[in-house]
Structure formats: C-alpha cells, structure tokens
Chain A
Amino acid sequence: MAFWNKEIETMPRAELEKLQLSLLKKQVRTMYDSSKFIHDRMKAAGLSPADITDMGSFRKMPFMRKTDFRDNYPDGLFIRPYEDLVRLHVSSGTTGKPTVVGYTRKDLDLWAESLTRGMVSFGMTKHDLVQNSHGYGLFTGGLGVHYAAEKLGATVLPASTGNTERQIQLMKDLHVTAFVGTPSYLFHIADTCDKMGVDMRRDTNVRLAIAGGEPWSESMRAKIQDRTGIHIHNCYGASEFNGPSFLECEEQAGLHVWADLCIMEVLDKNGDQCADGEKGELVITMLQKEAFPLIRYKIGDVSALDWEKCECGRTHPRLMMLSGRTDDMLVVRGVNVFPSQIESVIGEIPYLSTFYHITLENENYMDDMTVEVELNESSIADDMVKLGRMARQVEDRLKSALNISTKVRLVLPDTLKRFEGKAQHVTDNRKYD
C-alpha cells in the first residue's frame, strides 16, 4: 500500500487529536486577532481564544452559516490582504450574491495535498494519465483536481466539460487511465461509448475514476462500475472549504477526511455530537486555512462519520456517502441551486406572479429542471408567439442567474397548487437507483 504522507495518514487517533487541538488553538487565535467577524462573534458569545482549551470548549464556538458569506460579500471574511492571495473561486450563493473564496499559496498547496493523498490511497501514480472533465473556471472542480494530479506527478488532460465524443476519442488515442467528473457525466460517457461502438474495457485503458459534485448512490456506482469496468471513487468537497477535497481509498469504504486539515463534526437535531456511524448535520472547521478560514461551518450536508481504522491502514475518520441536506439547496447537474435564487429572478419580471413550482427529474441520471410560474392576469398575451417569447426570456434570465438551463412553463393564474404555511416549491422526482 502506497501513501503520500504516511506519517500523518497513519498517525494514531490520540496523536491526531492532539495535533488537531494545537492547530485549532492557533487557528482560533489568528481568527480572533485578524477577523472582525469572528472577533465580534466570539465576544458576543463571551469567548476569548484562551477559553478554547479542549474539544468541549471548542463546541461553545458559534456556528458559521452560508448567510454569513452573503452578509460579508464579497471578501469581508478574508483575513489576508490581496497581496497574499494567489487565486479566487466563486460559487453560487443563496440569493443574488455568489460566494467568493480566496486562497494563499499555502492554501492551494494544502488543498492539492488533501486530494493527492486521496488519489494515492486508491492507487493513482505518476504513471497515470488523468482526463479531468470538471469545468475549469470559477468552479473549483477543474483546477482543484488539476493541481492535485500534477502534484502527484500524473499527466493531466484538462478536458473540461462538454464535447463528449471528442473526450472519448482522446481517451482512446492518448491511453487515458483515470477519469474525473460528475457521476451523471460518467453515465453519459458510458452511453456515448455505446453509441460510438466503443467498449470501455476493450478499447480504453481507463481503470480508475473520481466522481463527485452531485448526489448519487451505491447502486449507481455498482451499475456504472459494472458497465465500464472502472473503479470509481467518491469525492466530497465544497468551495467554502477549498473545493473537492476528500476521496475514498481503494477500499471504497467512505471518504478519508484528513484530521490534520479539518475537524468534521456530525451533530444531531439537538446539536449534540452523533455517535460513530450515526447520521447528522456536518459541521466543518478548517485547521490550516490562511486566507478564508472556516470555523464550525454548517455546510448543510447530512452524513455520518466513522473513526474505525480503515483496512487500508489510514487512521483518519471516514465520511459516508451524503444522504441529504438540512436546507432547501438543490444540486442540479452539479450546480448548487437555491429556490430563493429562482424566486428573486421571478420577482424581477413584471409579468410573472409570485407563485412558482420547481420540478426535478432525471433520465440516465442527467438532471432536468422545470420551473412553472403563473402569469399575472393583466399580462397574459392572447398570442402564442408572444407567450413563447416571454417563456424564453424567463429561461434566459434564470440561466444567467443559475448557470444552468431550465425549462420554463408559463401557466395561467390560479393553476399551481397553493400550500398552507411554508410553500413547498420543489418536487424532486430524481431517482438514484
């Protein structure tokens, strides 16, 4: 079994926890001194850095939430000046405002380190040729995986998204051995291979893949592995804590969450720590981030953590496959979508009422989002061409706000179901089996 950083990766739990505590104390002190936001929050909670002496006192620290990013848009939570930053990434936020994340050189280094350890843990080496079909750009997926694979010494093909037939052609011609993308894109690749008469087992050298960025399931993994003969390793990450960060080892028994980089808590409904293997809300603290530190961040994902030592020899806790959200965030084709974003677009268009409904479907695990919205009675045109034009206009506005395409259906007033109390805006009919 190969390791990237064997000393850390196999450190006994007690030592790891000691390391976590010392990193944590230092991080809290830095944040208290350089982040007005954290300083004020800690003051309000009656805490000073000296109070954080163990994990028990750490749990008194107030939570950070997605709304804190919005309130401090664009860079109010950065604690380093721009001269120390070497990169920015941007992801969607809950309303019109996106979330901007800054990185120092060390941040990029540790981000890559986190993924490189994971890549090695399932057998990737410098001999691999890695085709990266995550989007390059503001999204963290493309560049995140890119730098980690380079750090490993593998050869990266920065294919980015789209043009599936060409991707498959390159996969064959260049003898690609490892593929990175979303689970649904893997299915799309497999379907396109079938159409092109390409047999992944016979005609390509792909043996490993990393898949993440959207919800999926063990049965989906079994299906696609069976179809393609590729070992597919789950990936977890979010731009708030760098980007894609944690991977499964060759055991495929949960993602190794590097305890020297991250404290991952799992909390039950009462806010108490869940037992090993018990599902709850994930709360993330990054121990070594410099530019944009996170402390007790409620990311909104639900899963379980298992500290039992992995068969591979690694001692760090393993995160199970995500099983839900605590908020109304939707992941559609790998993009985070909040119903509030859709609501604010609708609110800006005078011929639309405030009544809308979102329906999600998937075919071959490729998501489709339809937004039905009621027209204002005074704005209904009796001309199909005009109505069609209005629908296209709403689709364009949604596309520029959400970065993904939606189908818009303009319906008559009083057509959509009315709900008592909190409106149920979403019907999710997607299947992951």
Chain B
Amino acid sequence: MKNENIITQLSIFINNEPGRLAAVAGILKEFNIDVKGFNLAESTEFGILRAIVDDPDRAYDIIRSQGVIVKKTDVIGIAIRDSPGSFFEAADVLGKAGMNIDYGYAYSNKDFDFLFVRVDDAEKAAEVLKDAGIKLIEKSEI
C-alpha cells in the first residue's frame, strides 16, 4: 500500500536570468497546474522552485515537456500547532533517530498549519514521527 504521508514535491530548476521565473509561472498558469504551496531557494547560479501541486505526475510531464528541468522529491508534511515548540519536537525526534532535515518550508490551508520537510529517507522519517505521536498530513488533506 502506498504511504499516504509521502508527498511528492516538484523541484523546478530555474536559471538566474531575467524572465526565467516568469516563464515558469506562465507554464503553470497556462496548463492549470494548481500550486498548493511553494518555496524558492536561490544560489548565485540558479534558483530552485519547490512546489507542492495537484497531480504532481501530470505537472511533472507538462513542465518537462516545456524544456524546464524538474525533479520529483519526496517530502513529508508535519502538522504544527500554534506553538512554535511543535516544530522543535519533530526536529528532536528526527535528530534522535539520526535523520537530518535538508530543508523545510511552512504552509497553511483552512484546516492546518504544517511544515514540509525534506529528509533523506522520507518513509522512515514518517514512521518515526508517527510513532512519536506527531501528526503528519496526508495527500488528501492538502
């Protein structure tokens, strides 16, 4: 059975040139790709748009077909209550399990506040966090 807690994120690589980000945004709009949450990371060479979208497989094929470099990355969504302590609790659980968070970014919808995080082994991280009683978001809840 597929793990409902493993969320597929698209990592879209964009050169730091004027108009490149706008061009990618144009593709998302043109093909009605619904972006639920995103984060933009930048180096001096290029940027990475990390996006949680509706139907990531379809979006991946479309973006790729437009000549844009895109990768699928597994992330997990950790529910955070109104206190910032809940994130540290999750980080502590992962740390004790020897798992490192590569990056994370926050997202909210009408029901939840949560944090998407990228770890090396998403399956294992999801298991460890659930065992510790931490609520993870499921695909259907995004």
Number of interface residues of B (CB under 8 A): 16
Q: Are B69 and A377 in contact (CB under 8 A)?
A: yes
Q: Are B102 and A411 in contact (CB under 8 A)?
A: no
- Contact flag A383-B102 (CB < 8 Å), given A409-B44, A412-B46, A413-B69: yes
A15 at the binding interface (Cβ < 8 Å): no
A371 → chain B closest CB, angstroms:
12
Q: Are B15 and A382 in contact (CB under 8 A)?
A: no
Picked from B15, B50, B73, B103, the residue with its CB within 8 Å of the CB of A412 is: B15
Which B36-69 residues have C-beta < 8 A from chain A? 41, 43-46, 48, 50, 69
Q: Are B13 and A412 in contact (CB under 8 A)?
A: yes
> B44, B45, B103: which has the most chain A beta carbons within 10 Å?
B45
Q: Are A384 and B43 in contact (CB under 8 A)?
A: yes
Complexed CA–CA distance, A411 and B13 (Å): 10
Q: Are B45 and A380 in contact (CB under 8 A)?
A: no
B130 at the binding interface (Cβ < 8 Å): no
Complexed CA–CA distance, A380 and B73 (Å): 12
Which A68-107 residues have C-beta < 8 A from chain B? none
Which residue of A has the minimal Cβ distance to B73?
A382
A385 at the binding interface (Cβ < 8 Å): yes
Q: Are A382 and B48 in contact (CB under 8 A)?
A: yes
> A384, A386, A409, A410: which has the most chain B beta carbons within 10 Å?
A384
Would you call the interface of chain B mostly helix, strand, loop, or mixed?
strand
Q: Are A412 and B102 in contact (CB under 8 A)?
A: no
A72 → chain B closest CB, angstroms:
41
Complexed CA–CA distance, A413 and B64 (Å): 13
B13 → chain A closest CB, angstroms:
5
Q: Are A383 and B118 in contact (CB under 8 A)?
A: yes
A415 at the binding interface (Cβ < 8 Å): yes
Which residues from A are CB-within-8-Å of B73?
Answer: 382
Which residues from B are CB-within-8-Å of A384?
Answer: 41, 43, 48, 103
B11 at the binding interface (Cβ < 8 Å): yes
A387 at the binding interface (Cβ < 8 Å): yes
Complexed CA–CA distance, A386 and B44 (Å): 14
Given contacts A380-B13, A412-B15, A413-B69, 17 further A-B contacts (CB under 8 A): A377-B69, A380-B69, A382-B11, A382-B13, A382-B50, A382-B71, A382-B118, A383-B103, A384-B41, A384-B48, A388-B43, A409-B45, A410-B45, A411-B15, A411-B45, A411-B46, A412-B13
- 24 sample A-B contacts, Cβ–Cβ < 8 Å, listed by A number: A377-B69, A380-B13, A380-B71, A382-B11, A382-B48, A382-B73, A382-B118, A383-B103, A383-B118, A384-B41, A384-B43, A384-B48, A385-B102, A386-B102, A387-B43, A388-B43, A410-B45, A411-B15, A411-B45, A412-B13, A412-B15, A412-B46, A413-B69, A415-B46
